[in-house]
Amino acid sequence: MPVTHFPISVADAATYTVDPDNSGLIHYIPDLTATCTFTLPTPATGLWFEFAYIGAAADAQNWIITTGSDTNYYRGGVLHMDTDAGAGTDELVPVRSDGNSNSKLTVVTPDVGTRIRVECANGTNWNVVGHVVSATVPTMADQ
């Protein structure tokens, strides 16, 4: 019989601590009523988490996905898909970590289709990939 893994339904809250025991599970994020900071656990090789927006329209709130320390920075980045296409020059834009200290990813007002995956491959840093659907380009920054 196959093993079933249940996804995580994230509660509408201002903070969310990602449980390392939920590695390998998708975290479904609702339309939030306040900006939410998602704090990743201490990095360990093999941990990975995926965050997917499931609201019915663009959220009015932001996600901040933090590693908690500039020592445990992100590598890689996400692709921004602009929801007000044709209104500016940021139609499809890669958003990259600086590869040496960016440990905070801010997703501004995500829309349907936003999906981000973070993986720890070396016990220290988090690889980040995915796509952000929004009218505003996400940012990568230090703590």
pLDDT at 4 over 90: no
Q: Of the candidates 106, 84, 86, which has an alpha carbon nearest to the alpha carbon of residue 95?
A: 106
Which pLDDT tens digit goes with each residue over 26-38? 999 999 999 999 9
> Residue length, the chain?
143
Instruction: Give the pLDDT score at 89.
Output: 64
Cα separation, 128 vs 105, in Å, equals 9
Identify whether the C-beta of residue 114 lies closer than 8 Å to the C-beta of residue 58. Answer: no
Identify whether the C-beta of residue 72 lies closer than 8 Å to the C-beta of residue 124. Answer: yes
Backbone phi, psi, residue 72, to 5°: -105, 60
Instruction: Give the pLDDT score at 7.
Output: 92
pLDDT at 3 over 70: no
* E strand intervals along 1-101: 8-9, 15-17, 26-29, 36-39, 48-53, 63-66, 74-82, 92-96
Cβ-in-10-Å burial (0-12, 13-18, 19+) of 38 comes to buried
Which pLDDT tens digit goes with each residue over 90-132? 688 999 999 999 999 999 999 999 999 999 999 999 999 999 9
**Helix, strand, coil in percent for the chain, rounding step 5:** 5, 40, 55
Which pLDDT tens digit goes with each residue over 37-72? 999 999 999 999 999 999 999 999 999 999 999 999
Instruction: Give the pLDDT score at 1.
Output: 61
Instruction: Give the pLDDT score at 128.
Output: 98
Query: Would you place residue 84 in the very low, low, confident or very high pLDDT band (cuts 50, 70, 90)?
Result: confident
Q: What is the mean pLDDT of residues 11-30?
A: 96
pLDDT at 10 over 90: yes
Q: Is the CA virtual torsion 59, 128, 105, 134 positive or negative? A: negative
